[in-house]
Amino acid sequence: MVCGRCIMVVRNELTNLGLHPVLVEMGIVQLEEISLTEDQRYNLEKKLNELGFELLDDYKAKLIEQIKSLVIEKIHHSNSLDEKINWSKLISDQVFHEYNYMSGLFSAVEGITLEQYIIRQKIEKVKELLFYNELTLNEIANKLGYSSNAHLSSQFKKNTGQTPSQFKKTRAIDKNRKALDEI
C-alpha cells in the first residue's frame, strides 16, 4: 500500500469481507481475528489481488526486512563503500533469491524501487557526514562509492531540494534528517 486511499480501500474491503481491522497502515494489517479460515484467507487474497495488492506472508515480510537491514548495514555501519558495490549480486547472495524477484517484491511492498531505497539511505548518510563536517564532499563521495562528487551532488539535490553546500550551511538536521526506519 502506498497512499492513504490505498489504506482506505483495504480497510473497506476487510470490513466487506466480515473482518475487523484494528490497524491498517502501509504494508501492515492487524485484525481482531486471531486466525483466518481457509475461505476467509482465500477471499481476502483474491480481493486484494483484484485491487492490485498482494497478501504477504511472514516469509516475504522477513525477506524485505532482511534486504533493508543489509542495505542499512552496508551504508551506515561499514567503514567505507570505496569499492563499487554490485547491489544486485550482494542482495541475491545474502537473501538467496534472484534479484529481479526481490526487486519486484520490494517495490510492491514498499512503494519505491530497491534502487531508490538504496539512494535514499546513501543520502541520509551524506547528511550525517555533512552535519559532522569531518570530511570533504569529495571524501564523502569516495566513502559512499559515488563515481564523483558531481554525481553525489546531483543525487543529493534531486532527493533533498538542496545542494550539499546549502545543506551544510543550514545544518537543518531536525528538518531534513529522517530516522532510518522512516526512509
DSSP 132-183: HT-S-HHHHHHHTT-S-HHHHHHHHHHHHSS-HHHHHHH--HHHH---GGG-
State whether residue 3 is helix, strand or coil. Answer: coil
Instruction: State the pLDDT at residue 151.
Output: 95
Q: Is the pLDDT of residue 123 over 90?
A: yes
Strands 21-25 and 28-31: antiparallel
Q: Is the pLDDT of residue 173 over 60?
A: no
Round the average pLDDT of the chain to a whole number and report it: 85
- Range 26-32, long-range pairs (CB < 8 A, 24+ positions): 26/1, 26/2, 26/111, 27/1, 27/56, 27/109, 27/110
* Model confidence band, residue 180 (pLDDT cutoffs 50, 70, 90): low
Which is it for the CA torsion 144, 149, 151, 155, positive or negative?
positive
* Model confidence band, residue 62 (pLDDT cutoffs 50, 70, 90): confident
Instruction: State the pLDDT at residue 1.
Output: 42
Neighbouring-strand partners of residue 25: 28
State whether residue 28 is helix, strand or coil. Answer: strand
* Model confidence band, residue 112 (pLDDT cutoffs 50, 70, 90): very high
Neighbouring-strand partners of residue 30: 23
Ranked by mean pLDDT, the top range of 28-37, 56-65, 100-109 is 100-109
Contact 70, 94 (CB under 8 A): yes
Q: Is the pLDDT of residue 106 over 70?
A: yes
Q: Is the pLDDT of residue 126 over 90?
A: yes
Q: What is the pTM of this model?
A: 0.65
- Domain spans in the chain, listed from the N-terminal domain onward: 4-55, 60-182
Which of the residue ranges 40-54, 76-90, 129-143, 164-178 would you say has the lowest mean pLDDT? 164-178
| Domain 60-182, CATH homologous superfamily name and number | Homeodomain-like (1.10.10.60)
pLDDT tens digits, one per residue of 135-170? 999 999 988 888 899 999 999 999 999 999 999 888
